[in-house]
Amino acid sequence: MAQTDTTPIETPGPDAPDQEHWAWRGLRVAVRVVIALEVILLVIGVGAVAAAYGAYKSILPIVPEAEDIGDYQPAATTILYAANGEEIARVFDDEDRILVDLKDVPELVQEATIAIEDKRFHDHKGFDPIRLVKVTQLEMTEGGQTQGGSTITMQLAREIYLSKRKSFGRKIQELALAIEIERKFSKDQILEMYLNQVCYGDRTYGIKAAAGRFFHKDLSELELHEAALLAALPNNPEGRSPYNFPEAAKQRRDLVLDVMAEEHYVTRQEAEKAKDKPLGVKERAPRGLLSYRAPYFTQHAILELTERYGHDAVYGGGLRVYTTLNLEVQARAQEIVRRGVERSSGRRVRQGAAVIMEPTTGHLLAIVGGKQWSEEDQYNRATLAERQPGSSMKPYVWTTAMEVLGMGPGSPVSGAPASFNVGGGLYWSPNPGGSGGMYTLSSALKASVNIVSARLALTAGPEAVVRTAKKMGIRSNIRPFPSIALGSEGVTVLDQATAYSCFANGGYRPTATCLAKVLDHNGIVIDRCDPELDQVLDQRVAYDMNNMMQGVIQGGTGRAGRGLPAPAGGKTGTTDRSCDAWFVGFTPKLTTAVWVGNDENDPMYGVYGGNVPCPIWKELMEMTMEVTGKEGGEFPGPGHSLPRRPQKRVALVQGSPAPDKEESSESTGGGGGGRGAPRELFY
């Protein structure tokens, strides 16, 4: 018999309809939530894409075009060298940076940077997704960021094109800009720009400057532990300064070495051996003026550079400047001036200055701007101080008399005392000097007779004297007062050396310069600084003046300068109350100007051009000849083919103007040179 299924059949209870209702209602809510989430995600996604696109568009105008890659150049330090190639100064505003090509950066240095900053640098296209994920994970799990997520390219984008202020918008720009940079630059170009751009601390930018700053080495000389330390610094250059925070610097350096071993750039044994070494950074060297060798010379060279090329080119253009400086001459000249001043300290001499130059080129070999350069006293008296030249102004007066009045070395002139009507009811009675009586132009210069200088200047006209001095190289604002005949208007030591060079070289004004050659940071010559010479004196006038000024040394007020191994001429100068004393002189190959005095214009005691500055001048000339071999030589002559200029027949009467009419006169064979005197005698 068949069995019957007795399993009870379940029938819906009274609550069944409500359960079904709530089930369906829950399902509908879930669907709506999912839809809402999708909408939100879509909006967020669209917003993110829009933001990223906006950021991308915002950086396009500031990304260089591919063809402009070669124009990339951050501000770079200008380096000055002496004539022998030794470095004498580094010039920069805020960033000490020496640009370097990647090919000149050792692989070890490149690898250290890549290992710690961006180990997948050669694989990504501007950003590293793996690194970003790891950084985000660390932030979520450890509550803080232990390493950065920026690639080398992103850091470069931030350093060059973006502000360093942290913000979401800037981060998007940084990412977008990194992608664009990767599109337009090769990996080598990016790494080179990075190594030249980033800060290593202590106002040092770029890997080459950092190697010099911290280790006093070239990049090629760096050891493993040194390369690792440099790679450690850009992450936090101030917080891990090896000077201020050596422990933090060592920890980061050792981390670099560990990562280099992990990436198989070095072996573990090499890394551990390098970690055992001290940081090895050198003592901080001074910067700016305190670091310059030959600071007086270098000061003026930088000023000349700035006038020629502008501030930005000098302080950020990375120039390589070869100067005319002779380091040995400069050092010994500084010592000679110091000794000369101290030797006369009992005469109340406290300061001195000197300039040594080549009269045929204008090349400055040395500039001594004071007794001793110091952190407290950096004033360059040789180039900046305008001091009264006293009788060292007389050669410009004599030159004017020969050019304007047609006089010659043998022309007679009265040395009798006189009172000159200078207009407005005023009379000027200068200290006559000399012994009175008659002089030739030559003998009056040899004896430095004041009254003769006054007569010559007033007859030719003080304005003419000013014009002569200006065209020969005096740049000061000298005024045409009658007293200019005795050196009442201030001039600089440098300008005196320039102007007297016209007598040494046959009438040509050289342009005084510290510069021999200027190159850009790639070593391309941009200026050879060839000598500039302008003929400003008739050759015969220069020759006659040269002969007369040789007489000053041979038997006049400059006798203390005798005995050089070369023909020499020059002129002494002393002001009232002995506030200033000078000797300016020359040989065929050298011109040197010397000044002694006091900054406060205090009078010295018993000091004049022949007894303090002249011996200093002689010692400077002897030393320079010994160092440079610039001995001997002959002064340029007027040449037999030069026409003899007719001399003017004039009367030097007080207050009388110089006549305009030229008349030939027969030479009486007056002494002192190749030109004779007019028959008339002078009052």
Domains of the chain by range and CATH?
101-275 (1.10.3810.10), 389-491+650-683 (3.40.710.10)
Please report, as a single letter, which amino acid is at residue 170: R
Report the C-alpha gap between 459 and 464 in whole angstroms. Answer: 10
Give the pLDDT confidence score for residue 69 in this predicted structure.
47
Compute the average pLDDT of residues 27-32: 55
Please provide the DSSP assignment of 565-613 as one string.
SS--EEEEEE-GGGSEEEEEEE-SS-EEEEEEE-TT-PPPSS--TTTTH
Please report, as a single letter, which amino acid is at residue 261: A
Give the pLDDT confidence score for residue 287 in this predicted structure.
85
Of 550, 524, 588, residue with least CA distance to 446: 550
Please report which confidence band the pLDDT of residue 667 belongs to, taking 50, 70 and 90 as the band edges: very low
- SS3 category, 551: helix
Compute the average pLDDT of residues 161-170: 57
Distance of CA 671 to the CA centre of its chain: 49
pLDDT surpasses 60 at 17:
no
Per residue, what are the HEC states of 93-155? CCCEECCCCHHHCCHHHHHHHHHHHCCCCCCCCCCCHHHHHHHHHHHHHHCCCCCCCCCHHHH
Please report which confidence band the pLDDT of residue 504 belongs to, taking 50, 70 and 90 as the band edges: very high
Please report which confidence band the pLDDT of residue 672 belongs to, taking 50, 70 and 90 as the band edges: very low
Q: Which two tokens stand for residue 217?
A: 């080495």
In terms of Cβ atoms closer than 10 Å to its own Cβ (0-12, 13-18, 19+), residue 471 is middle
Could you report the per-residue pLDDT of 546-562, keeping only the tens digit for each? 999 999 999 999 999 99
Report the C-alpha gap between 171 and 62 in whole angstroms. Answer: 16
Report the C-alpha gap between 594 and 574 in whole angstroms. Answer: 12
Helices (H) and strands (E) in the chain, counts: 20, 19
In terms of Cβ atoms closer than 10 Å to its own Cβ (0-12, 13-18, 19+), residue 432 is middle
Report the C-alpha gap between 20 and 14 in whole angstroms. Answer: 12
* Helix pair 613-628, 327-343: axis angle to 10 deg: 160
Report the C-alpha gap between 535 and 636 in whole angstroms. Answer: 13
> For 202-260, where are the E strands, in sequence order?
204-205
- SS3 category, 237: coil
Please report which confidence band the pLDDT of residue 50 belongs to, taking 50, 70 and 90 as the band edges: low
pLDDT surpasses 60 at 220:
yes
Please report, as a single letter, which amino acid is at residue 368: V
Give the pLDDT confidence score for residue 656 in this predicted structure.
34
Give the pLDDT confidence score for residue 336 in this predicted structure.
98
Residue with tokens 């380096």: 79
Pairing relationship of beta strands 591-597 and 580-586 according to DSSP bridges: antiparallel
Identify whether the C-beta of residue 540 lies closer than 8 Å to the C-beta of residue 547.
no
Report the C-alpha gap between 79 and 94 in whole angstroms. Answer: 15
Give the pLDDT confidence score for residue 371 in this predicted structure.
97
Write the CA distances from 196 to 68, 72, 191, 223, 247, integer angstroms: 17, 11, 9, 20, 26
Identify whether the C-beta of residue 343 lies closer than 8 Å to the C-beta of residue 120.
no
Residue with tokens 């007293």: 483
User: Using CA of residue 373, residue 377, residue 383, residue 385, what is the dihedral sign?
Assistant: negative
Please provide the DSSP assignment of 57-96 as one string.
HHHGGGSPPGGGGGG----B-EEEE-TTS-EEEEE-SS-E
- Over pLDDT 70: what percentage of the chain? 78
Give the pLDDT confidence score for residue 579 in this predicted structure.
96
Q: List % helix, strand, coil for the chain (3-state, nearest 5).
A: 45, 10, 40
Write the CA distances from 670 to 441, 446, 639, 676, integer angstroms: 9, 15, 20, 5
Work out the end-to-end distance of the chain between its first and last CA atoms, rounded to an integer number of angstroms: 176
pLDDT surpasses 70 at 577:
yes
Give the pLDDT confidence score for residue 591 in this predicted structure.
98
- Kindly report which listed range (165-174, 332-341, 403-412) carries the lowest average pLDDT score: 165-174
Report the C-alpha gap between 78 and 380 in whole angstroms. Answer: 22
Write the CA distances from 101 to 70, 106, 211, 349, integer angstroms: 12, 11, 15, 53
Distance of CA 481 to the CA centre of its chain: 37
Identify whether the C-beta of residue 373 lies closer than 8 Å to the C-beta of residue 289.
no
Q: How many residues does the chain have?
A: 683
Task: Point out which residues pair with 413 in neighbouring strands.
Answer: 439
Of 597, 497, 613, 633, residue with least CA distance to 560: 613
Q: Phi then psi for 593, rounded to 5 degrees? A: -115, 135
pLDDT surpasses 90 at 522:
no
Identify whether the C-beta of residue 249 lies closer than 8 Å to the C-beta of residue 279.
yes
pLDDT surpasses 80 at 681:
no
pLDDT surpasses 90 at 573:
yes
Identify whether the C-beta of residue 496 lies closer than 8 Å to the C-beta of residue 584.
yes
Give the pLDDT confidence score for residue 604 in this predicted structure.
97
User: Which residues, 6 or more positions from 35, have their beta carbon under 8 angstroms from its beta carbon?
Assistant: none
- SS3 category, 278: coil
- Kindly report which listed range (73-87, 156-170, 353-367, 566-580) carries the lowest average pLDDT score: 156-170
Of 374, 105, 179, 651, residue with least CA distance to 114: 105
Give the pLDDT confidence score for residue 314 in this predicted structure.
95
What one-character DSSP code corresponds to residue 436?
S
pTM for the full predicted model: 0.81
